[in-house]
Amino acid sequence: MAKAGVATKESHVVIRPPNIQTALFTVIGTAPYVQHKFSQKAREKMRRDQEAGSQRKKGEKREPKDFHAMYEAAQHRMEDGSWGIPAPAFRNACISACRLCGFKMTLAKLSVFVLPDGYDADDATPLVRITKGEPEYLKSVVRLATGATDLHARPMWKTGWRADLRIEFDGDQFSIEDVANLLSRAGRQVGVGEGRPDSKSSSGLGWGLFRVADKKEAQK
């Protein structure tokens, strides 16, 4: 309480409350989408190796590869069994696409979020449900970080896969048209999943590209 006869300074609010908005977009794959989840078996092996520490035996015998099990383990699935794409993959694609628009990526990290439809039943990764398409078995040669080559079995969704994205964004930074255009650039120039053009380890295979569906397509 202010004392009598003592002037008090008025406070001025200069920080506005967040203007968070949500928009729904349907995306359609214009190229195959290939997924490679870090499997539970690989995580378990990493745990055992780290717990063994210096006692780990060098030159341990390699287990024979079960390519079908590898294919199954590479899939992201929710508790209801439906397949999903990691929500951060779409968010990261939008943030990366900001480089093409001259928008600060650091601001985009605080302004664009992709809401999950559920979580991976195994590792709790936030997922966006794949609403059209089923995975097919793909065995291909990959190059490891060491430079060596290896065979991996992964799930692939053919061109035409679909997903509905609920994107939450800061309305003081982006308009809904900005978000739509940013997502369009992310789909045509960045991509999601394995072999995408914006892959950090290579120039990609052109996989994981998509386009934003118009209203009529989204209602089908």
pTM of the model: 0.83
Residue 58 lies in a domain: no
In a domain, 47, yes or no: no
Is-contact 187 164, C-beta < 8 A? no
Going by pLDDT thresholds of 50, 70 and 90, the confidence category of residue 44 is: low
Q: How many structural domains comprise the chain?
A: 1
Q: Are 118 and 84 in contact (CB under 8 A)?
A: yes
Digit-coded pLDDT (tens) for 157-193: 999 999 999 999 999 999 999 999 999 999 999 999 9
Residue 175 lies in a domain: yes
> Residue 202's pLDDT band (boundaries 50, 70, 90)?
confident
Whether residue 123 is contained in a domain is answered as yes
Q: Is residue 212 situated within a structural domain?
A: yes
Structure tokens at 137: 């078995």
Confidence of residue 2 (pLDDT cuts 50, 70, 90): very low
Kindly state whether residue 122 falls inside one of the protein's structural domains: yes
Query: pLDDT by residue (tens digit) across 83-100?
Result: 999 999 999 999 999 999
Tokens of 188: 């045509």
Give the domain extent around 116: 20-39+74-132+157-218
Distance CA(6)–CA(85), nearest Å, equals 62
